Structure 1
Amino acid sequence: MHRMRVEQLESPLSVQGKEVRHLHVLRLKPGDTLAVFDGQGLEAEARIVELAEFSATLELGEAREVAREHPQAVTLAVALLKGDKLSDVVRQATELGAARIQLLQTRYADVPDIGDNKLSRLRRVAEEAAKQSRRAVVPEVLAPVPLARLPEVSCGFVAHPGSGERLLDHLDWSAEVWLASGPEGGFSEAEIELLRSRGYRAITLGPRILRAETAPVALLGAIAATGV
Structure 2
Amino acid sequence: MNLLLLDTEDFTGSDQAVLTGRRAKHLFEVHKAQAGDQLRVGLIDGCMGQAIVTHASETRATLEAIALTEQPPAPLPVSLLLSLPRPKMLRRILQTASAMGVKHITLINGARVEKSFWQTPFLQPQAIREQLVLGLEQAKDTRLPTVEFAKRFKPFVEDELAGRVTGCQNYVAHPYQATPCPTGVTRAKHCHLAVGPEGGYVEFEVKKLQEIGFQAISLGPRILRVETALPVLLSKLF
After TM superposition, the score normalised by the length of structure 1 is 0.81
Q: How far does residue 46 in structure 1 lie from its aligned partner after superposition?
A: 1.2
Aligned positions, number: 222
Alignment check: 8 A CA contact 2:2 2:140 kept: no
User: 1: distance between equivalents of 2:184 and 2:115?
Assistant: 32
2:53 paired residue number: 48
Aligned ranges 1:74-85 → 2 under 5 Å? 74-85=78-89
User: 2: distance between equivalents of 1:189 and 1:112?
Assistant: 23
User: 1: distance between equivalents of 2:202 and 2:209?
Assistant: 11
* Bigger proportion of residues as helix: 2
Q: Secondary structure at the match of 2:118?
A: coil
Alignment check: 8 A CA contact 1:105 1:113 kept: no
Gaps of 5+ in 2: none
User: 2: distance between equivalents of 1:214 and 1:50?
Assistant: 40
Which one-letter code corresponds to 2:137 in the other structure?
K
Q: 1:196 to 1:170 in 2, by over 3 A?
A: farther
Gaps of 5+ in 1: none
Aligned ranges 1:40-189 → 2 under 5 Å? 40=45, 42-51=47-56, 54=60, 56-70=62-76, 72=77, 74-115=78-119, 117-119=121-123, 120-148=126-154, 149-150=156-157, 151-152=161-162, 153=165, 154-168=168-182, 171-189=185-203
Q: 1:169 to 1:23 in 2, by over 3 A?
A: closer
Q: How far does residue 141 in structure 1 lie from its aligned partner after superposition?
A: 3.4
Q: How far does residue 50 in structure 1 lie from its aligned partner after superposition?
A: 4.8
Q: How far does residue 77 in structure 1 lie from its aligned partner after superposition?
A: 1.3
2:19 paired residue number: 16
Q: Secondary structure at the match of 1:14?
A: strand
Report the more deviating stretch, 45-54 or 95-104.
45-54
After TM superposition, the score normalised by the length of structure 2 is 0.78
Which one-letter code corresponds to 1:124 in the other structure?
E
Report the more deviating stretch, 3-12 or 90-99.
3-12
**What whole-Å deviation, never above 9, does each CA across 1:62-89 have from its counterpart, x for those lacking one?**
422133533x2x2221111224122222
Alignment check: 8 A CA contact 2:109 2:150 kept: yes
Q: 1:166 to 1:57 in 2, by over 3 A?
A: same
Identity of aligned residues (%): 24
Q: Secondary structure at the match of 1:16?
A: strand
User: 1: distance between equivalents of 2:176 and 2:56?
Assistant: 58
Alignment check: 8 A CA contact 2:109 2:153 kept: yes
Question: What CA RMSD, in Å, does the superposition of the two structures yield over aligned residues?
Answer: 2.8
Q: 1:32 to 1:212 in 2, by over 3 A?
A: closer
Which one-letter code corresponds to 1:7 in the other structure?
D
User: 2: distance between equivalents of 1:41 and 1:173?
Assistant: 23
